[in-house]
Amino acid sequence: MGAESQNLLGSSLGDFVDRFRDWIADNRAELAPLLPARADYDARVATAKRLRGLLYDAGWGRIGWPEEFGGHGGTILHRAAMYDELFRAGWGGPVVFEHLEIVAPTLVRYADPEFTRTVLPRFLDGSQPWAQGFSEPEAGSDLASLRTRAELDGSDWVVNGAKIWTSWVGYARWCLALVRTGTAEERHRGLTMIAVDLRSPGVTAGPIRQANGTDELGQVRFDDVRVPPSRIIGDVGGGWRAAMYLLAHERGTLSWVRHCGYRENLTSASKSMSENSDRQVGEAALGLLGVRSAAINLLAREAADRELGPDSAFNKLLTTRTEQTVYNTLRDIDGTRVAIPDGSDAAAVLQQEYLFSRIVTIYGGSQQMQLMTIARHILGLENA
Q: What is the CATH number of the domain that holds 325?
A: 1.20.140.10
Contact present, 326 and 100 (Cβ < 8 Å) = no
Residues 285 and 369 in one domain: yes
Q: What is the total count of domains within the chain?
A: 3
pLDDT of residue 2: 64
Helices (H), 195-253: 239-251
In a domain, 58, yes or no: yes
As a 3-state breakdown, the chain gives helix, strand, coil percent values, each rounded to 5, of: 55, 15, 30
Q: Which of 138, 164, 136 is nearest to 220 (CA)?
A: 164
Count of C-beta atoms within a 10 Å radius of residue 328: 16
Quote the domain boundaries for residue 16: 3-93
Same domain for 371 and 266:
yes
What distance in Å separates the CA atoms of residue 365 and residue 376, rounded to the nearest whole number?
A: 16
Q: Are 193 and 239 in contact (CB under 8 A)?
A: yes
Query: How many C-beta neighbours within 10 Å does residue 262 have?
Result: 26
Q: State the pTM of this model.
A: 0.92
Q: Are residues 365 and 267 in the same domain?
A: yes
Does residue 43 sit within a domain? yes
Distance (Å, whole) CA 216 – CA 177: 17
Do 226 and 303 have their domain in common?
no
Q: Is residue 225 part of a domain?
A: yes
Final residue of a domain: which of 207, 237, 267?
A: 237
Helix axes 278-303, 254-270, angle to 10 degrees: 160
| pLDDT at 42 (0 to 100) | 95
CA-closest candidate to residue 129, choices 183, 71, 172, 65: 172
pLDDT of the residue at 275: 66
What is the spatial distance between Cα 173 and Cα 203, in angstroms, rounded to a whole number? Answer: 11
Which residue is catalytic, options 98, 250, 323, 353?
250
- Let me know if residue 116 belongs to a domain: no
Residue in 171, 170, 181 with CA at minimum distance from that of residue 220:
170
Are 76 and 64 spatial neighbours (Cβ–Cβ below 8 Å)? Answer: yes
The CATH code of the domain that includes 168 is: 2.40.110.10
Alpha-carbon distance of 54 to 195, in angstroms, equals 26
Instruction: Based on the fold, state whether residues 224 and 323 are members of the same structural domain.
Output: no
Closest CA to 145 of 180, 176, 195: 180
In a domain, 371, yes or no: yes
The backbone torsions φ and ψ at residue 149, rounded to the nearest 5 degrees and listed phi first, read -115, 150
Q: How far apart are CA 333 and CA 337, in angstroms?
A: 9
Q: How far apart are CA 139 and CA 148, in angstroms?
A: 10
Q: Looking at the structure, tell me whether residues 171 and 287 fall in a common domain.
A: no
| Same-domain check for residues 59 and 153 | no
Whether 101 is catalytic is: no
Q: Which of 210, 237, 264 is the last residue of a domain?
A: 237
Q: What is the mean pLDDT of each run of 10 residues along the chain (384 residues)?
A: 76 96 97 95 96 98 97 97 97 95 97 98 98 86 84 97 94 97 87 98 94 92 98 96 92 91 89 74 93 94 90 87 93 81 88 89 72 75 69
Rounded distance between C-alpha atoms, residue 164 and residue 219, angstroms? 4
Domain-embedded: residue 220: yes
Q: 203 and 321, same structural domain?
A: no
* Same domain as 351, residue 314: yes
The reply to whether 244 falls in a domain is no
> Which helix or strand (DSSP H or E) is residue 123 part of?
helix 113-124
Asked whether residue 291 falls in the same domain as residue 207, the answer is: no
The answer as to whether 205 is a domain residue is yes
d(CA 176, CA 247): 12
Domain boundary, last residue among 214, 237, 260: 237
Q: How far apart are CA 303 and CA 80, in angstroms?
A: 11
Q: What does DSSP say about strands 232-233 and 174-180: parallel, antiparallel, or unpaired?
A: unpaired
Beta bridge partners of 209: none
Q: Which amino acid is at 114?
A: E
- What pLDDT is attached to residue 193? 98
Pair (172, 55) in one structural domain: no
Same domain (yes/no): 311, 276: yes
Of the candidates 164, 79, 83, 176, which has an alpha carbon nearest to the alpha carbon of residue 130? 176
| Number of other CB atoms surrounding residue 344 within 10 Å | 11
Q: Is residue 195 within 8 Å of residue 115, measured between CB atoms?
A: yes
